[in-house]
Amino acid sequence: MNRTLFCSIIIVLFHLVGLYGFLTPAFEALFIKLVPYHLLLMLGLMIFTLNDRSMNIIKFAIGVYLAGFFIEVIGVNTGQIFGFYTYGTALGVKLWATPLLIGVNWLILVYCTGVFLETFNLKSQWLFSALGAAILLGIDFLIEPVAIRFDYWSWFEGVIPIQNYLGWYIFSYFLFLFFSGLNFNKKNNAAVVLLFAQLCFFLALNLWAI
């Protein structure tokens, strides 16, 4: 069994088990505590299945992590980026009221979506970035109700502002410009599996748990 297939099986299994845990009241609290470890595992699987070890992939990973973390630091402490919100405990240890793992979440989402879009061999960097940002915006629509329900984060007076979605789209657009502008091997079938596993996971939670 090659590493891509092996990691893809792990991705699917962990999302299925996680879905069962989140949908089962007796296990809900335990699985919320496991969220940080799940994110780190998915990051590890993406690193393991990389077909590139060049400086450009390192630049991409560090750049997106830092951009994702610090945009959230500014956002959560000022309300000027996405609106007024606060992080709960589900995403683990915080610095400046912001989970350290939120940058990992941005990195995984951008990498997996970018790898998926690469399969269409789009010629325009602007179109690539616009489509990537649109996909991430759609994922955010699915994540928001789940995040609120399971203490990932919460919004002032319980209202998700339009500013949040506009901020997500614009920020994501520039992250995809960064992704598309760097030359590294962007083929990784396990990343595509992870993207669709996440989509199915959050869609299922929206349908059955929210």
> Chunked in runs of 10, what are the mean pLDDT values of the chain (210 residues)?
92 97 94 96 96 92 98 96 95 96 98 97 95 97 92 91 96 98 95 97 86
User: Residue written as tokens 């919100």?
Assistant: 85
Say how many domains are in the chain.
Answer: 1
- Helices (H), strands (E): how many in the chain? 8, 4
Positive or negative, the CA dihedral 184, 189, 193, 194 is: negative
- Residue among 55, 84, 57, 87 nearest 69 (CA): 87
Domain membership of residue 40 as a residue range: 3-208
- Residue among 75, 64, 37, 39 nearest 153 (CA): 75
- Give the pLDDT of residue 152: 92
The amino acid at residue 135 is I
To which H or E segment does residue 205 belong?
A: helix 189-208
Going from the C-alpha of 135 to that of each of 21, 52, 160, 195, the distances in angstroms are 26, 24, 19, 10
pTM of the full structure:
0.96
To which H or E segment does residue 85 belong?
A: strand 85-87
- Give the pLDDT of residue 157: 85
Residue 110, SS3? Answer: helix
E-strand ranges in 96-140 read 98-99
- Residue among 120, 119, 134, 144 nearest 202 (CA): 144
Residue 2, SS3? Answer: coil
User: CA 149 to CA 81: how far, in whole Å?
Assistant: 22
- Give the pLDDT of residue 24: 93
